[in-house]
A and B are shown apart, each in its own frame.
Chain A
Amino acid sequence: MVDAEQLVRLLQATAGGDQKAFAELYTASSSHLFGLLLRILKRRDWAEEALQDCYVKIWQKADTYAPDKGAPLTWMMTVARYRALDLLRVKRPEVEMPEDEDGVEIGFADESSGIDPEARAVEGEGLGRLEGCLEGLQEEQRRSVLLAYYEGYTHQELASVLDAPLGTVKSWVRRGLQRLRECLGE
């Protein structure tokens, strides 16, 4: 488990231009960002490109991180996810979905999809609550939201994967999010 306090210190030192701290930050966090990028982008070359972009951005923007923005790894992974989405939108329209061209194996940490007990303990109540709220969604709503989150699918891609009309998929996503919002509260 990555030590959040240590990451905060490294991020702050990075903001001050400390290159050694930045290298340590990379060592401590890059596998998490890279796993996310591989999962969404599906191709190692794209994931590597995105990882590079992310850390250059983290180097530049480390000073905008404040501990009240959430855990540092969460913040960095959010940066990475947005980067992956942007890159996907630029690249995926032009290409076929790759058939594992680069030999990248993609998987979830817990393929069985249940929440592993350790993660639940670490994340505490928040995760349990989100999972509980997700379970409260209709099957199609939950699948749409999770596929969009983990695969970076657009509405069109969701429609094709779920074999449903575009309008239907849009409303699954929208209703799913609405119900999540109601369930999660403020």
Chain B
Amino acid sequence: MKYQDATVKRMLAAEYVLGTLHGRARRRFERLARERADVQAEVRYWEDRLARLQHRFKPVTPRAVVWAAIEREIGVDKVVSLDSRRAPAAEASTARSPRWLQAWAGMATAASVVLSFALYREVNRPLPPPQLVRVEVPVPQPLPYVAMLHPQGVDAEWLVTVSPERKLIRVSASGKYPINRASECLELWVLGEDGKPRSLGVLPNDGSSDLPMPRGVSMPKDPTLAVSKEPIGGSPTGSPTGPVILATPAQRVS
């Protein structure tokens, strides 16, 4: 392709930013843009101009589960800090079970913890894919809070267990609560000590699922769980906006 031709270059940059340049031509253009300042300038031109259309994307609050996944991936808020056990990069990236891990795995078990260890920022180079390693660590676990949520007059219920120490909420749904799945969802809340609801995430429509405990949310001594009907993706405000369909105390299993 005649990249020297200014018109062609302009058009490729425009179609690159618009997205209609695809496949191998797109990759080829990306390589070219990396090497050539004039091409970069043209890309920037279109990025700037077309970005004016961005305001028409309607903001939608993502589910809490996404942030939890990001934290796991970048290694923030690890369940168990690996800082003092950091293996050299080469060893950690290749070894499926480094020595320290074997030692841990051999210990008595109480809980299964998923550790994500990413070597981010340890070395200043492109990151290897994060590795998920499942290890058993001997952490004494208090028993979870449990509640059976059963909305009145509807053949649907959710068994919810909340394990604040493991930062995990497990929900098992049975029956079907009638909502318009195209536009609505059911969101789970815990009423805090101050009586204010805090989101625990969106309930699954069916089956079981694990939700990460949102950051900064703790369980009060006598927690009450509540469910409200919300727009798809969960409450846009962080507080219930739709009707509350039930509220039930949760008991600590003992």
Binding site for B on A (CB under 8 A): 17, 19, 22-23, 26, 30-32, 34-36, 38-39, 44, 47-48, 51-52, 55-56, 59-60, 69-70, 74, 77-78, 81, 85, 89, 100, 103-105, 107-110, 119, 122-123, 126-127, 130-131, 145-146, 148-150, 152-155, 158, 173-174, 177-178, 180-181, 184
Q: How many A-B residue pairs have CB under 8 A?
A: 145
Contacts of B157 in A (CB 8 A): none
Contacts of B232 in A (CB 8 A): 44, 103-105
**Docked pose: A122 CA to B10 CA in angstroms:** 29
Contacts of B121 in A (CB 8 A): 17
For the complex with contacts A103-B183, A127-B52, 10 further pairs of A-B residues with Cβ separation under 8 Å are A19-B77, A23-B76, A77-B51, A85-B19, A89-B23, A130-B49, A130-B52, A131-B52, A174-B15, A177-B14
- Chain A residue at smallest Cβ distance from B58: A109
Q: Is the CB of A78 within 8 A of B74?
A: no
Interface size on B, residues (CB 8 A): 48
Contacts of B57 in A (CB 8 A): 32, 35-36, 39, 77, 108-109, 150
**Docked pose: A85 CA to B22 CA in angstroms:** 9
Given known contacts A44-B233, A149-B50, A19 and B20 CB-to-CB distance under 8 angstroms: no
- Chain A residue at smallest Cβ distance from B69: A52
Contacts of B183 in A (CB 8 A): 103, 105
Task: Indicate whether B193 reaches chain A with its CB closer than 8 angstroms.
Answer: no
**Docked pose: A119 CA to B60 CA in angstroms:** 17
Contacts of A109 in B (CB 8 A): 55-59
- Chain B residue at smallest Cβ distance from A120: B55
Q: Is the CB of B53 within 8 A of A150?
A: yes
- Chain A residue at smallest Cβ distance from B51: A74
Contacts of A110 in B (CB 8 A): 56
Q: Is the CB of A184 within 8 A of B22?
A: no
Top 9 closest A-B pairs, CB basis?
A: A103-B181, A31-B59, A109-B58, A177-B14, A36-B57, A34-B62, A35-B60, A130-B52, A35-B59
Residues of chain B from 160 to 214 with CB closer than 8 A to chain A in the complex: 181-183, 185
Q: Is the CB of B14 within 8 A of A31?
A: no
Residues of chain B from 29 to 68 with CB closer than 8 A to chain A in the complex: 44, 47-63, 65-67
Q: Is the CB of B15 within 8 A of A70?
A: no
Contacts of A38 in B (CB 8 A): 60
Q: Write 16 A-B pairs (CB below 8 A) sorted by A numbering.
A: A34-B62, A34-B66, A39-B57, A39-B58, A48-B66, A52-B70, A56-B73, A59-B74, A59-B120, A70-B47, A70-B51, A108-B56, A109-B59, A148-B20, A149-B18, A177-B18
Which of B10, B55, B65, B121: most chain A Cβ within 10 A? Answer: B55
Given known contacts A89-B23, A181-B14, A60 and B120 CB-to-CB distance under 8 angstroms: yes
Task: Indicate whether B215 reaches chain A with its CB closer than 8 angstroms.
Answer: yes
Q: Is the CB of A126 within 8 A of B62?
A: no
Q: Is the CB of B49 within 8 A of A184?
A: yes
Task: Indicate whether B132 reaches chain A with its CB closer than 8 angstroms.
Answer: no
Q: Is the CB of A78 within 8 A of B19?
A: no
Task: Indicate whether B11 reaches chain A with its CB closer than 8 angstroms.
Answer: yes
